[in-house]
Structure 1
Amino acid sequence: MATRVLIHLPDPAPRGQVVPVRVTIGHPMEVGLRWNGDGNMTPRNIITRFECRLDGALVFGADLYQAVAANPYLAFWLRAERSGTLVFTWTGDYGFRHEERRTLNLA
């Protein structure tokens, strides 16, 4: 099944200015504390780490825990002096890994 991701960033972004970056990913973020219809505990299934890198350099990272809602939304600020490629990576339980790339264009 395809993972739905929404990424919002200015295009073009003003060089040297702080700009907002907003990302969300479709994921159930099951905490593993609920019972399913068969009377069994639903296994935990969460995203545990998010990273954003600009041309390989980490510009934002976050560890996520059970208290984060389904379809996690993250917003952060970024200041760039040069254009480049932003790589967004989500990792989680059961080997979950999703990566998206966007070009950051500066004015």
Structure 2
Amino acid sequence: MARALVNIPKTARRGDVIEIRTLISHEMETGYRPGPNGVLLPRDIITRFTCTYNGVEVFSAELFPAMSANPYLVFTTVASESGTIALTWTGDNGFSQTETATIEVA
């Protein structure tokens, strides 16, 4: 399992714009680099990131081989109600990881 770091405010006022920061450490392989035997190593990258806020998608991104080995993403959303923010990374070879955080909106 990859190591994910998530920075989401624990509290916010209704209508505030909140910043969400994520970083995931994942062994990335572009599929263009030869291995020790000269054969290309198979591609193994994170291909999609999705963020949902109480089940509603608020941000998504498709990632490609030129992306860094440890993708760092920063985006904003509006704090509308208390609930759960779920961050999901999916990739090659069946990779999928979800991290969740709760936010209290006053």
| TM-score category, normalised to shorter length | over 0.9
What's the Cα RMSD here? 1.0
Partners of 1:41 and 1:84 in 2: CA distance:
45
Q: CA deviation at 1:29?
A: 2.2
Partners of 2:28 and 2:104 in 1: CA distance:
32
Q: State the partner residue of 2:70.
A: 71
1:36-47 correspondence to structure 2 within 5 Å: 36-47=35-46
More strand by share: 2
Q: CA deviation at 1:28?
A: 2.2
**Conserved 8 A contact 1:32-1:45:** yes
Residue 59 (1) aligns with residue 58 (2): yes
TM-score of the superposed pair, with normalisation by structure 2: 0.94
Structure 2 stretches of 5 or more lacking a match?
A: none
Could you list the structure 1 runs, at least 4 aligned residues long, displaced by more than 4 angstroms after superposition: none
**Conserved 8 A contact 1:49-1:64:** yes
TM-score of the superposed pair, with normalisation by structure 1: 0.93
Partners of 2:15 and 2:53 in 1: CA distance:
14
The one-letter code matched in structure 1 to 2:74 is: A
Aligned length: 106
**Conserved 8 A contact 1:53-1:86:** yes
